[in-house]
Amino acid sequence: MTEDRRQYDRHPVAWSVDCVAEETFLYAKIANISEMGIFVKTTEPLAVGTDLDLSFAPPSGEPFKLQGTVQWINPVRDDGDNPNPGMGVRFRNLSSEDRERIVEAIRAIAYLND
């Protein structure tokens, strides 16, 4: 049995996100969010360890401008057997204010999905 490394519940969303890493700019969608990170759905995931500047906004609320690091990727497979390509991004240098705003956004998502 494999150990589930997820410490925080993930909540499905479909929010646009801008990811900027040095000279790379990626416009993509967030597929899910937790208190500590996001899954960015993209056919062009960046390398593990890549630091990113992230910009995204929940449908109701102030936009987030956060930093993150790519923790893992789910690459596109040549055989096409990958319905969910993308990358897991962990937030970095998260202020207590930003973390609380993320928690509030997640609570709103959970409430709307009940």
**In one letter, which amino acid is 23?**
E
pLDDT along the chain (114 residues), means of 10: 60 93 92 94 94 91 94 83 87 94 85 62
- Alpha carbon 43 to chain centroid distance? 14
Stated pTM of the model: 0.86
Domains of the chain: 11-113 (2.40.10.220)
CA dist 40 to 1, 82, 94, 97, Å?
Answer: 26, 14, 18, 23
Q: 77: how many CB neighbours lie within 10 A of its CB? A: 9
* The pair of three-digit structure tokens given for residue 69, joined into one six-digit string: 């690091």
